[in-house]
Each structure stands twice: as structure tokens, then as C-alpha cells.
């Protein structure tokens, strides 16, 4: 059994997402063969890329405020919000301009393929 | 995209675990085919059964204090603790006698088989 504090796991910068870090809390390194748990931290005003991929996200917001954008619009999120991003759905997580945003984001173990990031007029959304 | 507050999902009692409820935050009902997210809430002094099953748990403690028991001993847990319970590993989550314990527990979608609960001298551990 692995038991550890989430914040003892090093935070790594996320490519194409200034002000965003990720901690891999439970991954293949811990023997997790089916799905993996990550902790994302967004500084105020920062966001993940507007992007899509073939795997789903299961998200739980731990702290802060922000919005999640999808093709069907924007949704406010805060501590206690749950988000399910379906496979191939475009999405982006954005921290409030003055507040950080911290959330768990779990992915299937197969979610290790290249990510499609929009470099079109959608960039920055 | 599904976005909702975790506490808008009804809490259901857990069999063989007095004082314990579960909210199924993301499951097959939401189109999650690979793994499912549940939120467990344990009243002070309550615990899940000492049990094992063939699938893993990925746990993140949201609030409160307690211990997780395993065959290798007891581990204190609190907000921010991460626990990986490997397949077939015996385990039990126990709230502090005077404090509740609230945690996310994710399982693979295949984790719907019967659970082995100890009804031996280990019962109540």
C-alpha cells in the first residue's frame, strides 16, 4: 500500500501552459495499470491549452475558482465541482484572474497518446 | 461535458459499514467506461469493512482525519493524503474517533465483482 502526501510529489511544469504545474500522484510507477491520478495547479489567470484527445478526464476541483470551457460553452467551477470530459471533447481549464485553481484530473492508462492542441483561431480559448 | 457539484449527488448508505455513505460522482451513467469516481464520507468513529477485492483503489483524502489499515500496518491519513491500494490487498478506512473522514475513491469499471469481507478474527479491524 502506498500512502503519501500529495504535495510531497514534485510539481512539474506543463508544456504549452504557462503558470500550470502537474503532480503525478498515482501512475504506472506505483503499479497503477488502469488509470492515473494527477494534481493540477493553475496560477491566477493561467489556463491549460484548448485541446482534445481520445481519452476522457475525470476531474474533482479541490480549491480555488475558475471556468472550464467546452464546445457547449463555459461552466464556472470551484471546490467540490466534478467534471467529466468525454473522449474527443474539446476543453480548457482556466483559473480566475485573481484566484488559483487546483484540481485532480484522472485519465485512463491508455491516455498517453499525442494531444491535439488547437493552433487555429481557437488558440487561447 | 458534465459539470456538477459533488454534494448535489445523493449520498447512499454503504452495506456493512454503519456511519458510511457513498456518492457516485462519475460512473457508467455519465458515460465513464474505464473508471469511476466515488466520494465516501465516514462519521467520526466509523469505518469501512476490512476487506479485499481483485481491483485497485486510488484514493485522495479531501477532509478530516483517520487511518487506513493494511496487512503491513496502519497509516495515518488526512486532507491531501494519497493512497494506492493494490489489487487483492486487504484494507480498511477508519475515521478518527472524534473527526469525520471524507475521501475520493476511484475504481476501474471492471470493479463490480463481489467483495470479500472478512468474517473471521479479522472482523472489525
Residue B76: pLDDT band by 50, 70, 90 thresholds?
A: very high
The pTM assigned to this predicted structure is 0.91
pLDDT recorded at residue B110: 80
- Say if residue B125's pLDDT is above 80: no
Smallest CA-to-CA distance from B113 within B27, B30, B54 is with: B54
Shortest Cα distance from A119 to chain B (angstroms)?
A: 22
- Say if residue A122's pLDDT is above 80: no
Note whether B117 contacts A: Cβ–Cβ < 8 A. Answer: no
Note whether A34 contacts B: Cβ–Cβ < 8 A. Answer: yes
Q: Quick: pLDDT tens for A50-71.
A: 999 999 999 999 999 999 999 9
| H or E segment to which residue B96 belongs | none
pLDDT recorded at residue A111: 65
pLDDT recorded at residue A112: 54
A16: left (phi over 0), alpha (psi -120 to 50) or beta: left
Q: Which of A70, A82, A108 minimises the CB distance to B34?
A: A108
- Say if residue B48's pLDDT is above 80: yes
In this structure, what C-alpha cell is assigned to residue A104? 485532480
- Say if residue B123's pLDDT is above 80: no
pLDDT recorded at residue A16: 86
Closest A-chain CA to B25: A82
Smallest CA-to-CA distance from A100 within A24, A47, A38, A49 is with: A47
ipTM: 0.90
Note whether A31 contacts B: Cβ–Cβ < 8 A. Answer: yes
On chain A, the residues whose CB falls within 8 A of the CB of B62 are 62
Shortest Cα distance from A98 to chain B (angstroms)?
A: 22
Q: Quick: pLDDT tens for A9-18.
A: 999 999 889 9
Q: Quick: pLDDT tens for B88-109.
A: 999 999 999 999 999 999 999 9
pLDDT recorded at residue A113: 47
Residue B50: pLDDT band by 50, 70, 90 thresholds?
A: very high
Q: Do A58 and B26 touch (CB under 8 A)?
A: yes
Note whether A11 contacts B: Cβ–Cβ < 8 A. Answer: no
pLDDT recorded at residue B115: 54
pLDDT recorded at residue B16: 86
On chain A, the residues whose CB falls within 8 A of the CB of B60 are 6, 25, 37, 60, 104
pLDDT recorded at residue B122: 40
DSSP-assigned states of every residue in A65-101: EEEEEETTEEEEEETTEEEEEPTT--EEEEE-TTS-E
pLDDT recorded at residue A49: 95
- Say if residue B113's pLDDT is above 50: no
Q: Quick: pLDDT tens for A69-109.
A: 999 999 999 999 999 999 999 999 999 999 999 999 999 99
CA angle A105, A111, A95 (to 5 degrees): 30
Q: Which of A32, A83, A89 minimises the CB distance to B58?
A: A32
Amino acid at each position: 500500500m502506498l500512502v503519501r502526501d500529495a504535495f510531497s510529489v514534485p510539481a512539474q511544469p506543463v508544456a504549452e501552459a504557462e503558470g500550470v504545474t502537474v503532480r503525478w500522484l498515482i501512475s504506472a510507477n506505483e503499479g497503477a495499470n488502469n488509470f492515473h491520478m494527477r494534481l493540477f495547479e493553475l496560477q491566477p489567470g493561467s489556463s491549460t491549452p484548448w485541446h482534445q484527445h481520445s481519452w476522457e478526464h475525470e476531474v474533482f476541483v479541490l480549491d480555488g475558482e475558475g471556468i472550464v470551457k467546452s464546445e457547449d460553452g463555459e461552466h464556472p467551477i470551484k471546490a467540490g465541482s466534478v467534471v467529466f470530459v468525454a473522449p474527443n471533447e474539446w476543453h480548457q481549464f482556466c483559473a480566475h484572474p485573481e484566484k488559483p485553481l487546483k484540481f485532480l484530473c484522472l485519465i485512463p492508462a491508455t491516455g498517453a497518446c499525442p494531444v491535439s492542441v488547437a493552433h487555429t483561431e481557437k488558440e487561447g480559448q
